[in-house]
Amino acid sequence: MKTSRPDRRRFIISSFFFICFLCALASINEVRFDSLLNFGRCALTKTNSPSQIYNSSSTLIETQKTSSEDEIRVLFGILTLPDQYQRRHFLRLIYGTQNPVGAKVDVKFVFCNLTKEDQKVLVALEIMRYDDIIILDCKENMNKGKTYTYFSSLPEIFNDTDGVYPPYHYVMKADDDAYFRLQSLVDSLKPLPREDLYYGYVIPCPSMDPFVHYMSGMGYLISWDIVEWIRDSDIPKNQLEGPEDKIFGEWIRNGHQAKNRFNAKWSMYNFPEPPTRCTHELWPDTIAVHLLKTQEKWIRTLKYFNVTDNLKPSKLYHIP
Ligand SMILES: *[C@@H]1O[C@H](CO)[C@@H](O)[C@H](O)[C@H]1NC(C)=O
Ligand SMILES: *[C@@H]1O[C@H](CO)[C@@H](O)[C@H](O)[C@H]1NC(C)=O
Ligand SMILES: *[C@@H]1O[C@H](CO)[C@@H](O)[C@H](O)[C@H]1NC(C)=O
Ligand SMILES: *[C@@H]1O[C@H](CO)[C@@H](O)[C@H](O)[C@H]1NC(C)=O
Average the pLDDT over 165-184 and give the result: 97
From 302, 306, 308, 311, the mutation candidate for ligand 4 (largest count of ligand atoms within 8 A of CB) is 306
- Of 48-52, 122-126, 272-276, give the lowest mean pLDDT range: 48-52
What was the pLDDT predicted at 42? 41
What was the pLDDT predicted at 31? 44
Average the pLDDT over 256-285 and give the result: 97
**Exposure b/e, 208-224, CB count within 10 A at least 16 = b:** eebeebbbbbbbbbbbb
Residue 239 has pLDDT above 90, yes or no: yes
What was the pLDDT predicted at 119? 98
Phi-psi region at 256: left, alpha or beta (left = phi > 0; alpha = psi -120 to 50):
left
Give residue 213's pLDDT band: very low, low, confident or very high (50, 70, 90). Answer: very high
Distance CA 125, CA 106 (A): 19
Residue 281 has pLDDT above 90, yes or no: yes
Please, where in the chain does CATH 3.90.550.10 lie?
69-304
Average the pLDDT over 10-18 and give the result: 76
What was the pLDDT predicted at 67? 45
From 111, 113, 140, 144, the mutation candidate for ligand 2 (largest count of ligand atoms within 8 A of CB) is 113
Q: What is the pLDDT of residues 21-45, one digit of tens each?
A: 665 656 655 444 444 444 444 444 3
What was the pLDDT predicted at 41? 45
What was the pLDDT predicted at 198? 97
- Of 6-10, 114-118, 162-166, 218-222, give the lowest mean pLDDT range: 6-10
Please tell me the pTM assigned to this model: 0.78
User: Which ligand is nearest the CA of 303, by number?
Assistant: 4
Give residue 141's pLDDT band: very low, low, confident or very high (50, 70, 90). Answer: confident
Angstrom CA distances, 118 to 90, 109, 131, 310, stand at 20, 18, 18, 37
- Of 22-31, 68-77, 91-100, 187-196, give the lowest mean pLDDT range: 22-31
* Nearest alpha carbon, ligand 4 atom 3: 306
* Nearest alpha carbon, ligand 3 atom 2: 159
20/247: higher pLDDT? 247
What was the pLDDT predicted at 94? 97
**Ligand 4 within 6 A of 314 CB?**
no
Q: What is the pLDDT of residues 64-87, one digit of tens each?
A: 444 456 799 999 999 999 999 999
Angstrom CA distances, 91 to 20, 118, 125, 187, 259, stand at 45, 21, 17, 21, 33
Q: Which atom of ligand 1 is nearest to the CA of 56?
A: 13
Q: In what order do the strands lie in the sheet with 179-180?
A: 179-180, 288-290, 268-270
Residue 2 has pLDDT above 60, yes or no: no
Residue 61 has pLDDT above 60, yes or no: no
Architecture of the 69-304 domain: Alpha-Beta Complex (3.90)
